[in-house]
Amino acid sequence: MEIPRQEFQQMLPTIKKAIDECDFIAIDTELSGLHRPGNSKRMDTLENRYAEFREATQRFIIIQFGMCTFTWDEKAGRYIARAFNFYVFPTAMTGKIQPNRVFMTQAQAFDFLSKQAFDFNKWVYQGIPYLTKEEEEAYISQATQRMTDDLPDIPVDDKEKAFMEKAKQKIDIWVKDPKKTEDPEGVNINTRNAYQRRLIYQEVRKSYSELTAEGRSGFIRVMRLTQKQLDKRAKEKLARIKKDCEEAVGFRTVIDWISASRKYIVGHNMLLDVCHMIGQFVQPLPEKLSDFKKLAHDLFPYMADTKYICSTAAILQSEIGSATSLENLRFETNCDKFKNPRIDMHMEFPRYINEKAHEAGYDAYITGSVFLKLHSYLEFQLHPEKVPQEKEEEPEAESEKEEEEEEEEEKEERHRGTEGGWDVSDQEEEEDRAWLDSDEEKQEQVDEEEKEEEVYNYGSVRFPLINDDGKVPEALSEYVNKVTIVRTGFAYFDFVNPEAIQETAGTFYISSGTELPRALVYDAFGAFGKHIVDMTDANSGFVVYEYLKQDPDHVKAAVAQQLHDAGVEGLTIMTVSEYYAEQKERGE
Amino acid sequence: MEIPRQEFQQMLPTIKKAIDECDFIAIDTELSGLHRPGNSKRMDTLENRYAEFREATQRFIIIQFGMCTFTWDEKAGRYIARAFNFYVFPTAMTGKIQPNRVFMTQAQAFDFLSKQAFDFNKWVYQGIPYLTKEEEEAYISQATQRMTDDLPDIPVDDKEKAFMEKAKQKIDIWVKDPKKTEDPEGVNINTRNAYQRRLIYQEVRKSYSELTAEGRSGFIRVMRLTQKQLDKRAKEKLARIKKDCEEAVGFRTVIDWISASRKYIVGHNMLLDVCHMIGQFVQPLPEKLSDFKKLAHDLFPYMADTKYICSTAAILQSEIGSATSLENLRFETNCDKFKNPRIDMHMEFPRYINEKAHEAGYDAYITGSVFLKLHSYLEFQLHPEKVPQEKEEEPEAESEKEEEEEEEEEKEERHRGTEGGWDVSDQEEEEDRAWLDSDEEKQEQVDEEEKEEEVYNYGSVRFPLINDDGKVPEALSEYVNKVTIVRTGFAYFDFVNPEAIQETAGTFYISSGTELPRALVYDAFGAFGKHIVDMTDANSGFVVYEYLKQDPDHVKAAVAQQLHDAGVEGLTIMTVSEYYAEQKERGE
């Protein structure tokens, strides 16, 4: 479902309901750019990579946000998906004030999107604006200040002195005896520009505090209001500010709701998505990596990354292989082994009947579907007894071979009137409605609704995402809140715990009894090739080579000698494999 | 005429011809943004304003460029306009290499454009890319380096060692006895990625210098070429580089041609346009204002700004008033006083039959038309004898009242086959062509062409833009190479000479025998309100107040006292009026 700016406010209840009722939320973003050119090292430390992502959130923006909710449908034994596609554009054309936003575009990012037929007109003309919390507060305080006329005084320009004299005279005459004037209810001061209007407001506030000035088109009306009128006016003004503000907060509402739901959010290679979601809509990202982790985890307590799950679970790798692009996961999970659970798009969300790869809403839908299938697969490995017995009459999953589709149609037909499969096109849906419009058929529908027990059940197995004891289920415990991060020495990015380093021949652990001089460490290892130093704390860290050609023992000895000569004491250098073996031993 | 990326190369001859044959070129741009938010002072020095514009050229880009050429049509006694509208987008999708460009967008600028129905899809999908001269040189040197395989060596990854061994073995077997292999002409090495390909090129270059490696789809072919084949190959490669480069240089070609033509370029409030034209397509703007002036003047020796002309020529102000927006100038010059000259759009350029305000091509057309009318008006003031006598049968100018249009149609009809009026729509034109396709009518057309003397002459007067002696004509001499600049103490921005300060009560001239300490001067004047200090050289400058309330004589005395106390010697302070009076006296 595409949500244009013009319909956003009225669609909010539908969005809220989808978030409130779902089991989890899949997300995806399209960005105006990724990195600054020439800024991508082959290998980098976590800190540097985060700094790069943080910088990206300050430069580039999400221009399309995809959200797909997945809701268990108990009666039909399947999941119902609701995919939303939002264009996001920081327009200043809604609300009364908007920050004047400047953002960066990477031409190559637009090139990429144009290959996917991205609609840049929809983006600018229909994109939904947003305010962060801080911007919202500034907005309210500014609007309230304008309301209470609490503005700093401005000087009266020489050119406007005559205008002001005339205006004051006119007001004075009216004040003296309103009934003697043409318009006993008030006096109108014609103004030519914003400066004159501001001068009049200022004058009335200062010299006629018992009167009220109200802007009209081309003039300002000065009146004497009763207390009741004044109260009503204040109330109306506040209501207007609130409404303007809601419109200006715009898309952040959706992010706030996602966060408030405390539900799983699922992405594919999602670290950059999460950075942008927070940086653009919630608050600027903190400078320190540890602060970011805490903030993100507070906002989104359960994150799951389909790319990370696939590239880490050994059992999945043997099924799927090492190609973990979303497109490939979609392809690989489109077979019998990943049949459970059945997933249908809600019939009011027919946008993705045909593939729309790289539209954020579609990618979110695919990501969530893949997640359900991977999770189910992992659960079946732990609990083979839960694998459902093949039911003879079960319709094929939507993704089955085309030859079987015709057979299916008949079966599908029986289930109309319940939440339909997503293979109901707009047109078919309309035809259905027309069909239902005849009285006879209406009765038939009612009959169907009453015979609830006749809803077809696909018999899918649902696995909880959070156990009754509040814990993440065993099948997911190794994956939740860990996401893919490439080109670092680490196997993943962890929102909660420290990351584990990748065990390759070119990775070392180093520690000393006192603070390790980082530059010295960097130089000592430098003799053997390009490498990074990722400190875990002041006294210890990891060293990772891009390619190490020398014998690791030789490297250890040479570096130890050099650091010893430089005065570093209590030094330990070992390969990461040795380090983890030692850690394990200590643990046991 | 809209020129999309896909047709740019084939339209270049048409563009070149229009530039070569015209009298002058009007330009306009649409930008991705104007300024950083909150960066616009009420008053600023010229240096600061230039710095702001220069910064803008580093951030924002021209996304649409309008060019309209105007060519005198001697036979018909009128000007023929050719309006081109180019979308400009730094895509990396044409040519083989493109710099990865990142640019800024100001959301409000896109909001503004969306109010004018700007087509952002055309911009991204059809926008023409560009390289500056420096980028072009880098492009060629990179491409040549790739051609000669002159690349730095890269190490062979452990994982690829087996691949390389196998490849070398295969090549060795072939080298030993090509005829014994399946493919005596060469040997194919299958590759899986760019890294493997680069390794193979490297290996062949290093270990098999007598062989040639050529990339194919999915493999690299290693062959032994004759010298003749090698020469041919090198020639082909060079030709490809040249072609790629021409495509990559893209829109800069048009700017280069405009500059090379040495013709007038005419804009409306054009300083920012000129900054962007140079900064985006020619070279980054120099840091120093004086260097910029020289560079711009070298590139475009004659610039004329319709806004500046209107707001400066007293005689025009009395006709047109003080509203100098392009829209207003178009309206005001649409009357009998500005009837000369007749201007028609060339019949192959029918895009602007209906108004398309704020499309760059249309705005360029209006700007050029206004310029012709203003220039003509100014010439008539100097040379009343040149005012043409009303001819009874003269058709009304295109902009005349609608009631008269029907009458006109008949007259227009007679002139088809010559360069038509711009009120010929696409469709009509096609009908014309169909009509001309019948043999009989073709003959008629030939007859018309032969009867050259029958071309209707509108009797417009043409005034030269450069006199026979190479000088700018008197009517324009005060305006050429001066452009509008607001919110400074200066009346205009001058590409050739120092600017004159605006004479208001709040403007002073200050000089001393030695270097003036600028901060001290700034502070001394600070007691009397907000102001700027614009130094003309180290010893002198102007001080301009936003609003000065005090008596100028009092300011002079107080500041002189303060600077004297601070040790400044040989001080002169006078109002700008006094300063110019003195200058004049000295001159006489």
- pLDDT tens-digit series, residues A425-480: 333 333 333 333 444 444 444 444 555 557 899 999 999 999 999 999 999 999 99
Q: What fold is seen in the domain A2-130+250-379?
A: Nucleotidyltransferase; domain 5 (3.30.420)
Q: Which of B33, B121, B155 sits opposite A120 (nearest CB)?
A: B121
Q: In chain A, what residues touch B93 (CB-CB under 8 Å)?
A: 111, 114
In this structure, the number of other CB atoms found within 10 A of the CB of residue B506 comes to: 21
DSSP E strand stretches across A437-511: 482-483, 493-494, 507-511
- Phi and psi at residue A311, in whole multiples of 5°? -85, -5
The H or E element spanning position A177 is none
Strand, helix or coil for residue A84:
strand
* CB-based contact B111 A100, cutoff 8 Å: no
Q: How confident is the model at residue A101 (pLDDT cuts 50, 70, 90)?
A: confident
**Whether the Cβ atoms of residue B103 and residue A105 lie closer than 8 Å to each other:** yes
Q: What is the CATH number of domain B501-586?
A: 3.30.70.330
Give the up-direction half-sphere exposure of residue B236: CA atoms within 13 A in the CB hemisphere. 6
Q: How far, in Å, CA of B5 to CA of B82, rounded?
A: 19
Alpha helix segments (H runs only) across A177-313: 194-207, 227-249, 252-261, 271-281, 289-299, 306-312
φ and ψ of B373, to 5 deg: -70, -40
Q: In whole angstroms, what is the distance from residue B35 CA to residue B56 CA?
A: 6
A186 token code pair: 């008030």
pLDDT in tens, chain B (588 residues): 999 999 999 999 999 999 999 999 999 999 999 875 454 556 778 888 899 999 999 999 999 999 999 999 999 999 999 999 999 999 877 655 556 789 999 998 999 999 999 999 999 999 999 999 998 988 888 877 777 766 677 888 777 888 999 999 999 999 988 888 888 889 999 998 888 888 898 899 889 988 999 888 889 999 999 899 989 988 888 888 888 888 889 999 999 999 999 999 999 999 999 999 999 999 999 999 999 999 999 999 999 999 999 989 988 988 888 788 999 999 999 999 999 999 999 988 877 777 777 899 999 999 999 999 999 999 999 999 988 876 555 454 444 344 343 333 333 333 333 333 333 333 333 333 333 344 444 444 444 445 555 789 999 999 999 999 999 999 999 999 999 998 788 889 999 998 888 777 788 989 988 888 888 888 889 888 888 888 878 888 888 888 788 888 999 999 999 888 888 888 899 988 888 888 878 875
How high is the pLDDT of residue A451? 52
**Chain A interface disruption, residue of B108, B112, B153, B158, most A CBs within 10 A:** B108
The HSE-up count of residue B179 (CA atoms within 13 Å, CB side) is 0
Are the C-beta atoms of B489 and B541 separated by less than 8 Å?
Answer: no
Is this complex scored with an ipTM above 0.95?
Answer: no
Give CA–CA dist A366/A345, Å, rounded. 11
The DSSP letter of residue B313 is: -
Is the CB of residue A440 less than 8 Å from the CB of residue A447?
Answer: no
pLDDT at A330 over 70: yes
> Helices (H) and strands (E) in chain B — how many of each?
22, 17
A98-133 CB burial, b ≥16 within 10 A, e <16: bbbbbbbbbbbbbbbbbeeebbbbbbbbbbbbbbbe
Query: Per-residue pLDDT for A314 more than 70?
Result: yes
Distance CA A422, CA A426 (A): 10
For strand B78-87 and strand B2-3, is the pairing parallel, antiparallel, or unpaired?
A: parallel
Tell me, rounded to whole angstroms, the distance of Cα B143 from its chain centroid.
Answer: 28
B156 close to B199: Cβ distance less than 8 angstroms: yes
Length reported for chain B: 588
- Answer whether B107 sits within 8 Å of A91, measured CB to CB: yes
Residue whose token pair is 């985060």: A50
pLDDT at residue B398, as a whole number: 45
Q: What pLDDT, on a 0 to 100 scale, did the predictor assign at position A274? A: 98
What span, in angstroms and rounded, lies between the C-alpha atoms of A21 and A343?
A: 16
Contacts of B550 in chain A (CB under 8 A): none
Task: Verify whether the Cβ–Cβ distance B107 to A120 is below 8 Å.
Answer: no
Hey, are the CB atoms on B121 and A121 less than 8 Å from each other?
Answer: yes
**Structure tokens belonging to residue A420:** 């339909």
Q: Is the pLDDT of residue A504 over 50?
A: yes
Report the pLDDT value the prediction gives residue A132, as an integer from 0 to 100.
Answer: 92
- State how far the Cα of A198 lies from the Cα of A203, in Å rounded to an integer: 9
Per-residue pLDDT at B214: 87
Cα A434–chain centre separation = 38
**Cβ contacts of B382 within 8 Å, gap of 6 or more:** B474, B475
For strand B507-511 and strand B572-575, is the pairing parallel, antiparallel, or unpaired?
Answer: antiparallel
Q: What is the residue type of B386?
A: K
- As a whole number of angstroms, the distance between CA A527 and CA A102 comes to 45
Compute the mean pLDDT over every residue in chain A, rounded to the nearest whole number. Answer: 84
What residues pair up with A71 in beta bridges, in sequence order? A80
Helix, strand, coil in percent for chain B, rounding step 5: 50, 15, 35
Report the run of H or E that residue A70 belongs to, with start and end: strand A62-73
Cα gap B168→B164, rounded to integer Å: 6
Separation of alpha carbons A375 and B129, rounded Å: 46
Which carries the bigger pLDDT value, residue A348 or residue A453?
Answer: A348
The answer to whether the beta carbons of residues A305 and A479 sit under 8 Å apart is yes
Mutate to test the interface with B, among A121, A195, A280 (most CBs of B within 10 A): A121
CATH class held by domain B160-236: alpha beta
pLDDT band at A149 (very low <50, low <70, confident <90, very high): low
Shortest distance, CA B118 to any CA of chain A (angstroms): 9
Q: Which contiguous run of DSSP H or E holds residue A414?
A: helix A405-414
What radius of gyration, in Å, describes the C-alpha atoms of chain B?
Answer: 32
Lowest mean per-residue pLDDT among A52-61, A183-192, B539-548: B539-548
- The H-or-E segment that residue B572 falls in is strand B572-575
Work out whether strand A482-483 and strand A102-106 pair parallel, antiparallel, or are unpaired.
unpaired
- What whole-number distance in Å separates Cα of residue A450 and Cα of residue A458? 20
Name the pTM for this structure.
0.79
Compare all CA atoms of chain B with the CA of A110 and give the residue at the minimum distance. Answer: B124
User: Do B92 and A105 make contact, defined as CB atoms within 8 angstroms?
Assistant: no
| Best CA proximity match to A88, nearest among A356, A271, A361 | A361
The pLDDT assigned to A57 comes to 95
Binary contact (B125, A114; C-beta < 8 A): yes
Q: Report the C-alpha gap between A257 and A20 in whole angstroms.
A: 8
Tell me, what's the pLDDT at B153? 78
**Cα A549 from Cα B221, distance rounded (Å):** 30
Q: Give the H or E element holding residue A442.
A: helix A439-450
pLDDT level of residue A340 (50, 70, 90 thresholds): very high
d(CA A343, CA A419): 12
User: In B22-158, which ranges are continuous DSSP H helix?
Assistant: 46-59, 107-115, 120-126, 133-147
Gap from A124 CA to chain B (nearest CA, Å): 7
Query: Which of B100, B116, B118, B135 to mutate: most A Cβ within 10 Å?
Result: B100
Q: CATH 3.30.420.10 in chain A, residues?
A: 2-130+250-379
Radius of gyration of chain A (CA): 32
C-alpha to C-alpha distances, A558 to A550, A573, B385, B427, nearest whole angstrom:
11, 10, 97, 82
Locate all alpha helices (DSSP H) within B356-404, ordered by sequence: 360-382
Predicted local confidence at residue A233, as pLDDT: 87
Per the CB < 8 A criterion, the answer to whether B168 and B203 are in contact is yes
* Top-ranked range on mean pLDDT: pick from A184-198, A348-362, A462-476, B153-167: A462-476
Mean pLDDT value of segment A277-285? 97
| Start and end residues for every CATH 3.30.70.330 domain found in chain A | 501-586
A490 — phi, psi (to 5°)? -100, 150
* Dist. CA B185–CA A421, nearest whole Å: 58
Residues A270/A467/A333/B217 CA torsion (nearest 10 deg): 30
A226 vs B353, residue with greater confidence = A226
- Beta-strand runs (E) in A485-559: 493-494, 507-511, 531-537, 540-545
Q: Do B102 and A36 touch (CB under 8 A)?
A: yes
pLDDT of residue A402: 39
Residue contact A105–B106, C-beta within 8 A: no
Are B107 and A105 a contacting pair at CB < 8 A?
Answer: no
Collect all residues from A whose CB is shorter than 8 A from any CB in B: 32-33, 36-38, 59, 89-93, 98-108, 110-111, 113-114, 118-121, 123-125, 155, 157-158, 547, 549
DSSP reduced 3-state for B405: helix
* Residue positions counted in chain A: 588
Interchain contact, A102 vs B101, CB within 8 Å: no
CATH 3.30.1370 in chain B, residues? Answer: 160-236
Residue B205's pLDDT is 87
Contact B102 A547 (CB under 8 A): no
Separation of alpha carbons B24 and B376, rounded Å: 14
**Measured distance CA(B221)–CA(B229) in Å, rounded:** 15
Query: A407-416, A563-572, B480-489: lowest mean pLDDT where?
Result: A407-416
Cα separation, A503 vs A501, in Å, equals 6
For residue B92, list chain A residues with Cβ-Cβ distance below 8 A. 107-108, 111
| Distance from C-alpha of A115 to C-alpha of A117, rounded to nearest angstrom | 5
The chain B residues in contact with chain A (CB within 8 A) are 32-33, 36-38, 59, 89-93, 98-108, 110-111, 113-114, 118-121, 123-125, 155, 157-158, 547, 549
